Homo-oligomer: A and B are copies of this chain.
Amino acid sequence: MSPISTLPRRSLAGLLLAAAATAPAQVHAQAQADPLPSWRDGEARRAILDFLRAVTTEGGREYRPPEERLAVFDNDGTLWVEQPIYTQVVFAFDRLRAMAPQHPDWASREPFRAAISGDKAALAAAGEKAIVEIIAATHTGMTPEAFRQTALDWLATARHPRFDRPYTECIYQPMLEVMRLFRAQGFRTCIVSGGTTEFMRPWAERVYGVPPGQVVGTTFKLRYELQRNRGELLTLPEIDAVDDGPGKPVGISRFIGQRPLAAFGNSDGDYEMLQYTTTGDGRRLGMIVHHDDAEREFAYDRLSPIGRLDRALRDAPAAGWQLISMRQDWGQVLP
């Protein structure tokens, strides 16, 4: 017998009535509510709120009109979990195995053989070049739309090895709140990620509220062609632009066309994006998510091969970049 069936009939209606009666008060309470409920009070939280107050207070010395309000966010390690390995790399390896039956030559061709058979020693020896080849083989030779569907299909079933939930739920609740708060204050929120644009676009709007045109990432070259009387774009196995390090300000300028007022990152790959943002005129905000919470997520910085944070950590105080301590500043990590 379920607990609800033990309630007398009247009490259910009574509960509904009570809920209805309190609704207006709840709405009011929500409007007054903490805009960053997953953040603990501290310097990081105050830096965000102070910055927003400064640039949105009309008549204030640091006021910026809505058309200048741009905030950029790295994705891996800043908006979603990047350990123990970048999600897009996990996807590429899974995809390679799924595609293997259609590519019998891969059984004897490196680095595909090593990746498919799980030969970690051979893969490690092949290094980064092998990863790039595996990403190209699984991400190109199709239309962006067809690729997006493979990404969506994979994300629908794949689960994070530690958190045992879909990767699109391995996102940081406090950062969702920051993006929402920035948008509520008239900011455009853009993703500027080392991952490929097309891997993020199909779900960034649903998960982060960021539409496809505001997702900047690494891109492959495209070729326009007619396929059965239909205009299509073919993704070519040739990198067009790498959106990492100094490529991030380049991508921001090219795609968005203005210098951000605020930037959030977590690794040395975000160094130049933070620098480009915070060396602009007037009030700026640069923040670094510091992964120091082995218990609830992961703890890594200077020595990590994934999401290495060394140079940016060293230069943060001089540059005025505010660290976000996952352990201290976030009351909750995942949603």
Contact with B along A53-87 (1 / 0, CB 8 A): 00000000000000100000000000000000000
For residue A254, CB closer than 8 A to chain B, the reply is yes
- Complex Cα–Cα for A67 and B258 (A): 23
Which listed residue, B67, B254, B280, touches A222 by the CB 8 Å rule?
A: B254
Partner of A231, one of B229, B233, B276: B276
Residue in A230, A246, A257, A275 with the greatest tally of chain B CB atoms within 10 Å: A257
Q: Taking the complex as formed, is A43 at the interface, i.e. its CB lies under 8 A from any CB of chain B?
A: no
Interface readout for A202-236 with B: 1 if CB under 8 Å, 0 if not? 00010000011111000100111010011101000
Given known A222-B254, A250-B224, A256-B212, contact A67–B205 (CB-CB < 8 A): yes
Flag if A279 contacts B230 (CB, 8 Å).
Answer: yes
Complex CA distance for A124 and B39, rounded to whole angstroms: 66
Q: Judging by beta carbons under 8 Å apart, are B211 and A213 in contact?
A: no
Give the interface centre of A231, A246, A280 by most chain B CB atoms within 10 Å.
A231
A257-B197 in contact (CB<8A): yes
Quick one: which of B198, B205, B213 contacts A255, CB cutoff 8 A? B213
Residues of B within 8 A of A258 (CB): 212-213
Q: In the assembly, what is the distance between CA of A214 and CA of B255, in Å?
A: 8
Taking the complex as formed, is A144 at the interface, i.e. its CB lies under 8 A from any CB of chain B? yes
Interface status of A188 (Cβ within 8 A of chain B): yes
| Cβ proximity bits A228-265 to B, threshold 8 Å, 1 near / 0 not | 01110100000010000011011001111110000000
Cα-based distance from A224 to B192 in the complex (angstroms): 15
A229 to B279, CA, bound (A): 7
Point out the residues of chain B lying under 8 angstroms from A110, CB to CB. Answer: none
Q: When chains A and B are docked, how far (Å) is the Cα of A272 from the Cα of B212?
A: 22
Is A139 an interface residue, CB under 8 A from the partner? no
| Closest CB in chain B relative to A221 CB, distance in Å | 8
Whole-angstrom CA separation of A214 from B126 in the bound complex:
41
Which residue among A144, A253, A276 has the maximum number of chain B CB atoms within 10 Å of its CB?
A253
Contact B188 A213 (CB under 8 A): yes
Contact A233 B213 (CB under 8 A): no
Known contacts: A214-B213, A279-B230. The answer to whether A253 contacts B205 by CB under 8 A is no
User: A213-B256, A233-B250 known; 9 other A-B pairs, CB under 8 Å?
Assistant: A212-B256, A212-B257, A213-B213, A215-B257, A222-B253, A230-B279, A231-B275, A231-B279, A233-B276
